Amino acid sequence: MLLSFYLVSTTELYQLLKIPDLIEHYCEHKTLNPQMSVAQFLKMHYDHPVKDGDFDKDQRLPFVIHSAPLALYFTVAQRFEFSLEKNTFKQIGSQKFPSYNINFCYKGFLNTAWEPPKLFRI
């Protein structure tokens, strides 16, 4: 499945998905001219295309308009090198600070932060 998605998006293989449009357009021409063969239809639309009333439908046929498919390019360097340097770190002098000091805490905060919501009555 992935291979088919890749081929449809990177090659002209997506044009084969337009074959139902080709069949439908042939049936339209066949109702207008019952003597028209498939070879005549293909010659009319691919050998010498004419800009006529159904030109928009003609442009939707397979292999009439070519678009640039998705192109993916990958390059690999000759040699890839990854190195880690050993760095030494000096320890900076540190001081211990208390994580809880009652003088710096808002005294009512801890009691109100964890209370359940109250219902207001009017």
**Displacement of CA 70 from its chain's centroid (Å):** 11
- Alpha-carbon distance of 68 to 96, in angstroms, equals 66
- Alpha-carbon distance of 26 to 20, in angstroms, equals 10
Query: Residue-wise pLDDT tens for the chain (122 aa)?
Result: 888 888 877 788 888 888 999 999 999 999 999 999 999 999 888 888 878 888 888 888 988 887 766 666 777 767 767 777 776 767 777 776 656 666 555 555 555 566 666 666 66
pLDDT reported for residue 66: 77
- Alpha-carbon distance of 101 to 112, in angstroms, equals 19
pLDDT reported for residue 86: 72
User: Is the distance from CB of 73 to CB of 10 less than 8 angstroms?
Assistant: no
pLDDT reported for residue 103: 59
pLDDT for 36-58, tens place per residue? Answer: 999 999 988 888 887 888 888 88
16 φ/ψ angles, rounded to the nearest 5 degrees = -70, -20
Closest by CA to 64, choosing from 54, 72, 73, 74, is: 54
pLDDT reported for residue 7: 80
pLDDT reported for residue 39: 92
Q: CB within 8 A of 37, min separation 6: which ones? A: none
**Displacement of CA 17 from its chain's centroid (Å):** 19
Q: What does the domain layout of the chain look like in residue ranges?
A: 2-59
Q: CB within 8 A of 15, min separation 6: which ones? A: 62, 63
pLDDT reported for residue 107: 56
pTM for the whole structure: 0.51
pLDDT for 24-36, tens place per residue? Answer: 999 999 999 999 9
- Alpha-carbon distance of 27 to 38, in angstroms, equals 10
